[in-house]
Amino acid sequence: MPIITAVLLPGRPQAVKAAFMKAVAEAAASSLGAPLETVRVIIQEVPHEHFSVGGVAKAPPGSG
């Protein structure tokens, strides 16, 4: 049973996340030869202030 975790910053609409999870599950099933119904996809949303690039925290959209 493949379990795939994607870490995203918050702010995307639920429909976009659902489409992403479907596409990832289908890609995993196809490339691994696993039945689609056994593929698990988990999205973890990390607050912008808990994520940094080059040591600088990401700012939430619209904050700067």
Which one of 2, 13, 47, 60 is the catalytic residue? 2
| pLDDT the model gives residue 64 | 58
> pTM for this one?
0.84
- With respect to residue 64, please indicate whether it lies within any of the assigned structural domains: no
User: Could you tell me the residue range of the domain that residue 12 belongs to?
Assistant: 3-57
Burial of 43 (C-beta count, 10 Å sphere; 0-12/13-18/19+): middle
Q: What is the 3-state secondary structure (H, E, C) of the chain?
A: CCEEEEEECCCCCHHHHHHHHHHHHHHHHHHHCCCHHHCEEEEEECCHHHCEECCEECCCCCCC
| pLDDT the model gives residue 39 | 98
2 is catalytic: yes
- With respect to residue 20, please indicate whether it lies within any of the assigned structural domains: yes
> Would you write out the chain's pLDDT as a tens digit for each of its 64 residues?
999 999 999 999 999 999 999 999 999 999 999 999 999 999 999 999 898 989 888 877 667 5
- With respect to residue 24, please indicate whether it lies within any of the assigned structural domains: yes
> How many domains is the chain built from?
1
